[in-house]
A and B are shown apart, each in its own frame.
Chain A
Amino acid sequence: MLQVRGLLSTMVLEESKSVHNDLISQLQNIVGADSVVSHPAELLVYEYDASLDRHLPAAVVLPQTTQQVVEIVKLANRFDLPVVPRGSGTGLSGGAIAIKGGIVIVTTRMNHILSIDYANRRATVQPGVINADLTHYTEHAGFFYAPDPSSQKVCTIGGNVAENSGGPHCLSYGATTNHILDLELVLPTGDVIHTSGADGDQHGLDLTGTVVGSEGTFGIATEVTVRLTPLPEDTQVLLAIFRSVDEASNTVSAIIGAGIIPAALEMMDGLCCQAIEAAYHAGYPPDAGAVLLVELDGLREAVEELVDQVSTICRNHGAGEVRRARSAAERAALWAGRKGALGALGRLAPNYYIQDGVVPRTKLPETLQFVEQVSRDIRLPIANVFHAGDGNLHPNILFDRQDPTNIERTLRGGLEILRFCVEKGGVVSGEHGIGLEKREHIAFLYTTEDLAVMARLRDCFNPRQLFNPDKIFPPLRGCGEVRDQRVAARLAKEGIYAV
């Protein structure tokens, strides 16, 4: 997608001003004036997420309770307005962008941990609770929340549910879907359902599994019951340094081939190491060709054994050096570097276009060679940082969106890489979702019939398609430019101008 837009239409602003005023005052009645954003200039900060798309909503609401969400959704129905759920806005596929305007429901003030049940290893939280806060809160009792996207200090549990987010530790612990026991969901009609039985188990159809990963198109989660995982007895982290990406990728296959499933197995190429080192000074060698970050956990004796085995495999496959973090602080520093890698790329170029393709692990070496070739073809650097253990690549094409000639090459490069992933038996998105950005690409993966079944499933939940419209499914083409200009003229009167 990657449309770089100025200020475009918002459905309500197109209507008469009085309709907009009416909407705003009714929203204010539900949540109070300080929880509604309606001035165009103030809406600007809700036109983006961490991806590249942009679009202004007509209004933003920050509710605190399920009941308020219900009323907002019902109001949106009366006004025929789209509703877009939004957490912290760290999504990488444009999921939280109000591409058709409408009301954005932000969950950041729904951030209470409602109950914790250590005996049954579960917690119920509001959707705006930050992923890492849940771990911070339960650690003292010997537990953690296992899915750990690199954005975990920022992103919300609700966003994780919607994207079925993964993270380095999902290699051994499984992605978000393996850790969600029940959801309270406000449907696009305003009805409230629970997706599991009171015991958190599935009886009949697996609704919980269906809703996880539906990217806010099935409704908005207002309570989430998650599984808590006991902390392992011991954790060790190794950093293996290689001359080339090839050596590192072969090592990945060798480790898994030896029957070892590390807690995490991450790869970063030389370009990434440079950016990370500049940002974090965590000991990533800037002159390496590639590094592997390997975390091993379990019972103390078993971990020692694994450390030896993995170190040997790394050395046998060309690692010049295998370093072991000697303290919790060193482990934390290495992880901070890995988790900040994406943001650190801002040091290399103003924008990155992140790909999220997945290939079978054994195809990693040739896929990465292909990525290198694409980088030469499009004459733009590509930095690789990814969850090597499950073949989930993140090639980041580095560019500057101010330069229009860059954009075409960037898009072309991204497309070629995703095509290649699919050809090799992989998929176009491992964990960042399809959202806006990948909706053209989803057609590589599924037949028209496959997609039609999915659309019918969505329509069961969201028959009027007012909930997060224009996401996931390939777009039907249309032109809104004339409309855009009219709205731009109106906005200019309010102190905002379009370029």
Chain B
Amino acid sequence: MAIVTAPTAKAMGFTEIDAPPRSIIDRCVQCGFCLPTCPTYQLTFSEASSPRGRIHLLRAVSDGRLDLRAAVVREQMYQCLNCRACEAVCPSGVQYGQLVEPARAQIEQAHPRPLWQRMFRTFIFVRVFGDMRMFRLASGAIALYQHSGLRTLVRRTGMLKLLGLDKQDALLPEVPLRFVIPSGQRWQPQGSPHHHVGLFTGCIMSTAFAPTDEATARVLARNGCEVVAVPDQGCCGALALHAGEAGTGRENAKRNIVAFERLELDAIIVNAAGCGAALKEYRHLFHGDPEWSRRAERFSASVRDVSEFLDTLDLVPPGRLDRVVTYQEPCHLAHAQRITAAPRRLLAKIPGVRLVEMEESSLCCGSAGIYNVIRPEFSRRLLERKLKNALQTGADTIISANPGCIMQVASGLREQGKRVRVLHIVDLLDEAYRSV
């Protein structure tokens, strides 16, 4: 029967606060159904790089058999893209995402980074992403850099290569000079409004993708919604949470909950899949805090991805666009929010648009928040695979619904010198309405 050897030494396990819940670990019956969907397993065919393997490592830490500080634990928790494709196929319903984020938070606590790294992380997550004024300032600087001719100059001199920043520069999206600053501005429908919705403007969406935020508002207004850019909102907190900065993530969540609670809204509309997934899961951040749990629950219940919401409306017919498109599923839309049919139905409603499905449309493109910066090699291999699948369809436009994916795919196309466009689905819809 159970042979149990006596503990010979003490392994550092999880602390109680924000530990990966044992109840979730125990749900995994190790059937292995997650293996073929996991991007890192598909690249390595190594069990440690699979969700089943990673859960087993966490189980070993939780059992006291493996030290939380072991190199393999850190490596695997950060090699994971947190794309959650495994969650969508798991027959026993393991909420893998709810394991990875706490595990990262535990690693950060157990294994403090060097002071300069901690200061840098605090600066990025608290000062820049935590404060939209700072964020806009930083984005503004990038826009200025791109539009003033400074970039051309810097690129010509080869300075970026010298500093090892040339790849990062290529990843930067073209930042427009005008941002959406949420301050209660409204978009009115023609005729009387049928829905009152709040727009979650986002950090990257409201700056680098400000035209997409505006397109979102226009498309909603066109379909009978009064849209308000709710003031005092900020970053959704997903980036901090993915990086194991639970406290900062919670602060972001509270601010957004407070900002949106003040208004009577039919729905909170979000157009970035990653933010949407985070907003819909705020309740997980407040375990053991009934007051905030309740408020988070109410907030999350009214969050809708823009495709999800438009799909429930009797859509005003868009104008004709002659395009061959293929659809790249954002992980946090397809896997985390399980929204796969709505965007395809919307595309089918634009006359002239022909959707050609690519192979592996739901395999991560390698963007995954800041993954492309911290794991450039894996990220590049996933991107190459994505581009190959997408280009094989012969599409002239690749449609997606998340800023990370759009930037990643666009930078890959730029590098390969391909003239295929990458658009957010609402940009395409907006174009179709404008063509009427």
Contact A343 to B90, CB < 8 A, known contacts A45-B53, A45-B56, A49-B30: yes
| Chain B positions 33-81 with a Cβ under 8 Å from a chain A Cβ | 33, 35-36, 45-48, 50, 52-53, 56-57, 60, 63-67, 69-73
**Contact of A481 with B by CB under 8 A:** yes
Smallest CB separation, B224 vs chain A (Å)? 30
Smallest CB separation, A116 vs chain B (Å)? 18
Which one, B6-14, B104-112, B225-233, B239-247, is touching chain A?
B6-14
Smallest CB separation, A405 vs chain B (Å)? 11
Q: Are B91 and A341 neighbours in the complex by a CB distance under 8 Å?
A: yes
Smallest CB separation, A419 vs chain B (Å)? 20
Nearest A residue (CB) for B63: A499
**Contact of B416 with A by CB under 8 A:** no
Contact A39 to B72, CB < 8 A, known contacts A89-B47, A340-B91, A497-B65: yes
Contact A485 to B3, CB < 8 A, known contacts A46-B47, A90-B32: no
**Contact of B94 with A by CB under 8 A:** yes
**Contact of A103 with B by CB under 8 A:** no
**Contact of B351 with A by CB under 8 A:** no
A342 to B91, CA, bound (A): 8
Which one, B21-29, B174-182, B200-208, B404-412, is touching chain A?
B21-29
**Contact of A488 with B by CB under 8 A:** yes
Contact A350 to B3, CB < 8 A, known contacts A46-B47, A340-B91: no
| Chain B positions 174-225 with a Cβ under 8 Å from a chain A Cβ | none
Nearest A residue (CB) for B69: A495
A279 in complex: contacting residue of B3, B73, B93, CB < 8 Å:
B93
Smallest CB separation, B13 vs chain A (Å)? 10
A484 in complex: contacting residue of B5, B9, B53, CB < 8 Å:
B5
B45 in complex: contacting residue of A48, A109, A280, CB < 8 Å:
A109
A498 in complex: contacting residue of B5, B27, B28, CB < 8 Å:
B5
Q: Which residues of A contact B90 (CB under 8 A)?
A: 343
B91 in complex: contacting residue of A8, A37, A49, A279, CB < 8 Å:
A279
Smallest CB separation, A332 vs chain B (Å)? 14
Q: Which residues of A contact B119 (CB under 8 A)?
A: none
Q: Which residues of B contact A151 (CB under 8 A)?
A: 31-33
Q: Are B45 and A497 neighbours in the complex by a CB distance under 8 Å?
A: no
Contact A498 to B65, CB < 8 A, known contacts A279-B92, A346-B92: yes
Q: Are B72 and A3 neighbours in the complex by a CB distance under 8 Å?
A: no
Q: Which residues of B contact A404 (CB under 8 A)?
A: 1-2
Q: Are B5 and A488 neighbours in the complex by a CB distance under 8 Å?
A: yes
Q: Are A45 and B57 neighbours in the complex by a CB distance under 8 Å?
A: yes
Nearest A residue (CB) for B48: A45
Q: Are B66 and A496 neighbours in the complex by a CB distance under 8 Å?
A: yes
Q: Are A7 and B65 neighbours in the complex by a CB distance under 8 Å?
A: yes
B31 in complex: contacting residue of A90, A408, A489, A496, CB < 8 Å:
A90
Q: Which residues of B contact A280 (CB under 8 A)?
A: 91
Q: Are B6 and A485 neighbours in the complex by a CB distance under 8 Å?
A: yes
Smallest CB separation, A334 vs chain B (Å)? 15
A340 to B33, CA, bound (A): 8
**Contact of A197 with B by CB under 8 A:** no
Q: Which residues of B contact A347 (CB under 8 A)?
A: 27, 92-93
Smallest CB separation, B27 vs chain A (Å)? 5
Smallest CB separation, B55 vs chain A (Å)? 10
Q: Are B3 and A48 neighbours in the complex by a CB distance under 8 Å?
A: no
Q: Which residues of A contact B71 (CB under 8 A)?
A: 41
A347 to B4, CA, bound (A): 27
B1 in complex: contacting residue of A3, A45, A46, A154, CB < 8 Å:
A3
Q: Are B3 and A153 neighbours in the complex by a CB distance under 8 Å?
A: no
Interface size class of B (residues with CB under 8 A): 35 or more
Q: Are B1 and A50 neighbours in the complex by a CB distance under 8 Å?
A: no
Q: Which residues of B contact A407 (CB under 8 A)?
A: 1-2
Q: Which residues of B contact A481 (CB under 8 A)?
A: 3, 5
Nearest A residue (CB) for B73: A41
Contact A350 to B26, CB < 8 A, known contacts A89-B47, A151-B32: yes
Q: Which residues of A contact B6 (CB under 8 A)?
A: 485, 488, 498
Q: Are B45 and A62 neighbours in the complex by a CB distance under 8 Å?
A: yes
B-contact 0/1 string along A14-44, CB 8 Å cutoff = 0000000000000000000000010101101
A485 to B7, CA, bound (A): 9
Q: Are B31 and A499 neighbours in the complex by a CB distance under 8 Å?
A: no
A496 in complex: contacting residue of B47, B52, B53, B65, CB < 8 Å:
B65
B29 in complex: contacting residue of A45, A352, A489, CB < 8 Å:
A352
Q: Which residues of A contact B60 (CB under 8 A)?
A: 44, 496
Smallest CB separation, A151 vs chain B (Å)? 7
Contact A130 to B36, CB < 8 A, known contacts A344-B91, A407-B1, A497-B65: yes
Query: Interface centre among A279, A350, A352, A489, by most B CB within 10 Å?
Result: A350
A42 in complex: contacting residue of B3, B10, B72, CB < 8 Å:
B72
Q: Are A346 and B29 neighbours in the complex by a CB distance under 8 Å?
A: yes
Q: Are A41 and B31 neighbours in the complex by a CB distance under 8 Å?
A: no
Q: Are B2 and A153 neighbours in the complex by a CB distance under 8 Å?
A: no
**Contact of A278 with B by CB under 8 A:** yes
Q: Which residues of A contact B28 (CB under 8 A)?
A: 346
A179 to B2, CA, bound (A): 40
| Chain A positions 381-399 with a Cβ under 8 Å from a chain B Cβ | none
**Contact of A379 with B by CB under 8 A:** no
Q: Are A344 and B92 neighbours in the complex by a CB distance under 8 Å?
A: yes
A-contact 0/1 string along B120-143, CB 8 Å cutoff = 000000000000000000000000
B67 in complex: contacting residue of A48, A350, A402, A497, CB < 8 Å:
A497
Query: Interface centre among A41, A90, A352, A489, by most B CB within 10 Å?
Result: A41
Q: Are B9 and A44 neighbours in the complex by a CB distance under 8 Å?
A: no
Q: Which residues of B contact A130 (CB under 8 A)?
A: 36
**Contact of A455 with B by CB under 8 A:** no
Q: Which residues of B contact A344 (CB under 8 A)?
A: 91-93
Nearest B residue (CB) for A49: B30
Q: Which residues of B contact A497 (CB under 8 A)?
A: 7-11, 64-67
Nearest B residue (CB) for A352: B29
Q: Which residues of B contact A485 (CB under 8 A)?
A: 5-6, 8
Contact A48 to B5, CB < 8 A, known contacts A111-B45, A344-B92: no
9 residue pairs, one from A and one from B, having the closest CB atoms = A346-B92, A343-B91, A340-B91, A45-B53, A108-B45, A497-B11, A343-B31, A492-B9, A344-B91
A residues engaging B (CB < 8 A)? 3-8, 37, 39, 41-42, 44-46, 48-50, 62, 88-90, 106, 108-109, 111, 128, 130, 151, 153-155, 278-280, 340-347, 350-352, 400, 402, 404, 407-408, 481, 484-485, 488-489, 492, 495-499
Q: List 27 A-B contacts (CB under 8 A).
A: A6-B65, A41-B67, A41-B71, A45-B52, A50-B29, A88-B35, A106-B45, A128-B45, A154-B35, A278-B93, A279-B91, A342-B91, A343-B33, A343-B92, A345-B29, A345-B92, A351-B29, A400-B26, A402-B26, A488-B6, A492-B8, A495-B67, A495-B70, A496-B11, A497-B10, A498-B65, A499-B7
Given A45-B53, A128-B45, 12 extra CB contacts under 8 A: A4-B3, A41-B67, A44-B60, A45-B52, A62-B46, A88-B32, A343-B33, A488-B8, A495-B69, A496-B65, A497-B7, A498-B65
